[in-house]
Structure 1
Amino acid sequence: MSSQNSSTELLQQLELKQYEATALANLLGAGRTTAPSVSEATDIPKARVYDVLDSLADYGFIKVIPGRPKQYQPKSPEAILERAKENRRQQYEDYCNEVEGAREEFLEEFGPRYEQADEEVTPTAELFSVVDVGDPSETETRQLYQNAVDEVYVITNSFAYFDDVESAVKNALERGVDVSVLFLDPGKLPETKATVQEDIVDRITSEYPEIDNRFSEAVLPWRGTFIDPSMTYDSGKAIFLVEETDVPNHQRQAAITENGSFVAGMKRYFDLIWEYEISDKSSSKNPHP
């Protein structure tokens, strides 16, 4: 790939069209110059080159110097990057304003339809929704930590995905949310996963000592995260998946529920394991409330 082509492709990441990226790449190397010179150096048709340069000026990437002939001078690479971000920010703000402008009409049109359809949804459909395991499930898990008001409970084998949710965990702790993690006893894990678990537990113990953790002596039938359970069944949300040892994670789906009764049942199950079926490796912290 030639240097010119490489430069053009790099500039196209700023959402420039082919001719725009080609012209800007030429200007950044040539400095202040005229439209005919850009056309000659880049093979951009003379009938198009002025429109192309005017577009670059509208983006704020180049300056136009009046005269006969008119000349064009590129901004610095740093200034171009900053302007590209500002352009995108302005586009986003304009989009948000357009959406807000349509809010009243949108809600008036679709609100009644949604409410009528929601009344007809079966109880089974209301109980669960599903997402793929991986980035989608980790995104939902982070959202649970962000939404938690009082408590987060985790049932996990090794907590191998801790790095991907750590910032959300830290934020929850800083808000005063209690976090409790129930690990599977390392003796029940393959050696590689046991090593991962050991590293994660060491990190949690040293960096987040406020997190309670214990180890289940029995293999658990499901793992996941749930927040703010209520014994009056009026709050709580969870994401979990059942153990399917013959199915790799990337082929699985996780279930999401906001059913307060179901989340309360998960909490009762968690408490039974936490209090009565823990191994010798469990934390020496105070018993779970």
Structure 2
Amino acid sequence: MSTEDALQEATEVLQQLGLKEYEAKCFVGLSRLSTGTAKQLSEITEVPRTRVYDAVRVLEAQGLVEIQHSSPQQFRAVPLEEATETLQDQYEARVERLGDALETAGDAEPESNGPVQEVWALSGNDAIANRSRKLITEAKEEVVLVLGDEALLTEDLVKALTELNKKVDVLVGAVTESLERKIHNSLPDATTFVSGLGWMRPQAEFDDDLVIGRLLLVDRSNILVSTVVPDSRQEQAIFGGGFRNGLIVIARRLLSQGLFPGRDPRGDQ
């Protein structure tokens, strides 16, 4: 990544975190200077000099910039580690406020009674990882997970599986022996196996740019299936809940392919 691209990306991320364009540009500019005046900052950021003062005042109020009231005034960014922690705290506070506000607003319609069988689509690596962890943490009886991509064996996923109640059976399969060994080392208390689902592995004879990412079945009721686009590494998934029927029995048997019957905690009940 070139310097110009890095500066552009840093500016865009700061805007996504809530700063306005000139504020983001001024902070990025100051992060490259030990100290700077409005004139110097304007020259390296292309922010109009008169707008530099407004942007710096906002940054100071947020604890991201320090001002020396000399003539001319001198500005400097707080240390990068400190700035990162400040931005993270602000972002988390906003997310928490959002959650509180939406929870307080409540539902616009009453909840339906009884389980509903439904299937939904979801896109985005983070969103799918979060949904998978949520399903896992809510498990009461059993988690069956098959991974088709080593990159999906994240610390957060391992933590979610490790922290489950000991009464929950955890079965984790992999498409290759090497991945199965990594899973076993990360989850020594789980039942691990090499999946017998050959179609989960990339098939050279097929012109298909998708590979299976993860297959997840929780409590024989909630299921999530994802694919990964090799070039972009973007994950897409479908998931559903409320199932207690023959479809889940078939799905469970498929996911357990490669697992020796004797090692299956619950069998195919």
Do the two structures share a fold, i.e. TM-score over 0.5?
A: yes
Distance 1:210 1:283, change over 3 A: farther
Question: Higher helix fraction: Structure 1 or Structure 2?
Answer: 1
TM-score, scaled relative to structure 2: 0.60
SS at match of 2:176: helix
SS at match of 1:143: helix
2:223 maps to 1:238: yes
Distance 1:162 1:211, change over 3 A: farther
Q: Residues 63 and 72 of structure 1 are in contact (CA less than 8 Å); yes or no, is this contact kept in structure 2?
A: yes
1:210-243 CA distance string (max 9 Å, x none): 44467899999xx9543335xxxxxx433469xx
Quote the Cα distance in structure 1 between the aligned partners of 2:223 and 2:80.
47
Distance 1:24 1:114, change over 3 A: same
Residue number in structure 2 paired with 1:151: 142
**161, 164, 168: which is aligned to 1:172?**
161
1:120-175 CA distance string (max 9 Å, x none): x9x9xx32213369957665444332211222245x6xx42465256536643542
Quote the Cα distance in structure 2 between the aligned partners of 1:97 and 1:210.
37
Quote the Cα distance in structure 2 between the aligned partners of 1:95 and 1:269.
37
Q: Residues 142 and 165 of structure 1 are in contact (CA less than 8 Å); yes or no, is this contact kept in structure 2?
A: no
Q: Residues 180 and 212 of structure 1 are in contact (CA less than 8 Å); yes or no, is this contact kept in structure 2?
A: yes
The total of aligned residue pairs comes to: 239
1:1-289 paired onto structure 2 within 5 Å: 7=7, 9-15=9-15, 16-39=19-42, 44-99=47-102, 103=104, 106-107=105-106, 110-111=107-108, 113-115=109-111, 118=112, 126-131=116-121, 135=125, 140-153=131-144, 159-161=147-149, 164=152, 167-168=156-157, 171-174=160-163, 175-176=165-166, 177-180=168-171, 196-204=175-183, 208=187, 210-212=189-191, 224-229=215-220, 236-239=221-224, 254-259=238-243, 261-262=244-245, 266-267=248-249, 282=260, 285=263, 288=266
Quote the Cα distance in structure 1 between the aligned partners of 2:162 and 2:133.
13
User: Which sections of structure 1, spanning at least 5 residues, go unmatched?
Assistant: 184-195, 230-235, 242-249
Distance 1:56 1:161, change over 3 A: same
CA RMSD of aligned residues (A): 4.9
Displacement of 1:51 after TM fit? 1.2
1:176-230 CA distance string (max 9 Å, x none): 12124689xxxxxxxxxxxx4333444455654544467899999xx9543335x
One-letter code of the match for 1:56?
L
Q: Residues 26 and 41 of structure 2 are in contact (CA less than 8 Å); yes or no, is this contact kept in structure 1?
A: yes
TM-score, scaled relative to structure 1: 0.57
Q: Residues 118 and 240 of structure 2 are in contact (CA less than 8 Å); yes or no, is this contact kept in structure 1?
A: yes
